[in-house]
Structure 1
Amino acid sequence: MGWMRNPGRCAGLLYLVGSIPGFFALLYVPSRVIVHGNPVATAHNIAAHETLFRMGIAADLAGQAIFLFVALALYHLLKGVNRRLALMMLLLLVVSIPIAFVNELNSMAALTFAKGAEFLAGFDEAQRVAWMRVFLNLRGTGFDIAGIFWGLWLFPLGLLVYRSEFIPRLLGVGLMVGCFAYLANSFTSLAVPQYEDLVSRWVSPVQLVEMVFMLWLVVMGEVPKTLPD
């Protein structure tokens, strides 16, 4: 198959495949079960849509696992530009994956309290909902911590793209800016959460540069004939 002989397109397709479960887990599932400002309704939704909630957990784990291969594919594509930068990019992305994996334990704990398992008979509904909220908040904090590395890896990636001479430099600049967008989101959520919504509205559109980069690789994804030293 031609695309398998094209490391750029291969990396882009892996990037696309790994992103789809993430969109499902982090955007679609919460939109169906989370009711902001109403933890009781959220608990009822999680219990009523248990299968969907579990699918969201599985999808996030699958997406994170696929991104191991995304990191390796991008390393293979860009190591000829600068091996040290490529290794830094690889390590920064890989660090985020176990954080995201362990973080899904909070999702399972939230589901357990929302359902009200038999061994939780000593907890009344208000207590179960309170504990569910604690674990959902911890889950959000876990994503904020992983988000630090989701941002940091974009800087060496952007620098590699900028230097590559076979990918548009503008994409490299956008990826480096996207690094600081992720960091701003995580820092605000962790340190000054009262400004979280305001900062997110301003910086979240910048993070879409990853999608542009991914689609460029899928569509254009050429194999570099020569690479700089």
Structure 2
Amino acid sequence: MTTNNNMQRKAAVISAIALLIMTLAAFFSQGYVHSSLVINGDEVTTLENIQASQSLFRLEILGWIIILITDLIVSWGFYVFLKPFHREYALLAGWLRLLYTAILGIAVSQLVIANSTLHESVTGEALGTIPQQVMRSITAFEEIWSVGLIIFGIHLITVGLVAMNTKKIPKVLSFLVILAGFSYSLIHFMYGFIPQLEGFTKILEMILIAPMFIGELGFGIWLLVKGRKLTID
């Protein structure tokens, strides 16, 4: 029992730290670099932005690689932490996150392809097919990642259900994790499979952005503050 407690506490701390690092990397890569360089529907301006900030674009890719690594750590950490509460659901949550991470890895490879296209091109070709090639890779990254976020949402719902069924984790926090998972899955399902409602989906995303952000990050902070002190009855 003591060994299990120690392992669970270590998993709580390690996964919490990984989540915080992941959040910072996501803020930088997606929230700052990607959103400032990529102009939807404007291939030429996007190319010019990336050409003028190639080092920044490469740092974005590095940020995504850090996210991939920390996602693997969180997959393990969540499984170890949740296993004493419900082994089967904890295992399911772990595999779902690994599946999401694999999909994200495929998505990030598209950014690597975009960077290679830029590297191999010469200035005289910049206004030829290069803008279309780069935008095609960036669009593929966004679409593949969006599909992965549907899986990510189901992962969070599973984590929340395990947390909801134990007295060790606050019910409010468990509900927020479930709500975050439902929001991720709903929003990205609508983006991917109901494109005609894109305008409504964007409004809905703005409404749900707070629970999407607070859910997992709040759970990570709780793991760091309280989870490391948890004992199994």
* Class of the TM-score when normalised by the shorter of the 2 chains: 0.7 to 0.9
Q: Which residue of 2 aligns with 1:42?
A: 46
Q: CA deviation at 1:10?
A: 3.2
Q: How does 1:146-161 map to 2 (within 5 A)?
A: 146-161=148-163
Q: Which residue of 2 aligns with 1:175?
A: 177
Using the alignment, how far apart are the partners of 1:62 and 1:125 within structure 2?
33
User: Identity, % of aligned pairs?
Assistant: 21
Aligned residue pairs, count: 223
Using the alignment, how far apart are the partners of 2:204 and 2:118 within structure 1?
31
TM-score by length of structure 1 reads 0.87
Structure 2 CA distance for partners of 1:181 and 1:54, relative to 1, 3 Å: same
Q: CA deviation at 1:36?
A: 3.9
Structure 2 CA distance for partners of 1:5 and 1:169, relative to 1, 3 Å: closer
TM-score by length of structure 2 reads 0.86
Q: Which residue of 2 aligns with 1:197?
A: 202
Q: CA deviation at 1:154?
A: 0.5
- Range with bigger deviation, 182-191 or 12-21: 12-21
Using the alignment, how far apart are the partners of 2:85 and 2:66 within structure 1?
30
Match of 1:206 among 203, 211, 218: 211
Q: Deviations over 1:34-89 (max 9, x none)?
A: 23443222111111111111111111112111221111112111101010010001
Unpaired runs of 5+ residues, structure 1, are none
Q: Which residue of 2 aligns with 1:67?
A: 71
DSSP 3-state at the match of 2:39: coil
**Preserved CA contact (<8 Å) 1:25 1:56:** yes
Using the alignment, how far apart are the partners of 1:43 and 1:115 within structure 2?
12
Using the alignment, how far apart are the partners of 2:67 and 2:126 within structure 1?
36
Unpaired runs of 5+ residues, structure 2, are 1-5
Q: Deviations over 1:130-172 (max 9, x none)?
A: 2222221111101111101111101110011112222111111
Using the alignment, how far apart are the partners of 1:142 and 1:60 within structure 2?
14
Q: Which residue of 1 aligns with 2:3?
A: none
Using the alignment, how far apart are the partners of 2:16 and 2:42 within structure 1?
39
DSSP 3-state at the match of 1:153: helix
- Range with bigger deviation, 153-162 or 211-220: 211-220
- Cα RMSD after superposing both structures: 2.3
1:6 and 2:12 are equivalent in the alignment: no
- Range with bigger deviation, 169-178 or 185-194: 185-194
Using the alignment, how far apart are the partners of 1:189 and 1:131 within structure 2?
23
DSSP 3-state at the match of 2:149: helix
Q: How does 1:86-125 map to 2 (within 5 A)?
A: 86-114=90-118, 117-118=121-122, 125=127
Using the alignment, how far apart are the partners of 2:8 and 2:186 within structure 1?
38
Q: CA deviation at 1:114?
A: 4.6
- Range with bigger deviation, 64-73 or 28-37: 28-37
Using the alignment, how far apart are the partners of 1:37 and 1:141 within structure 2?
14
Q: CA deviation at 1:207?
A: 0.4
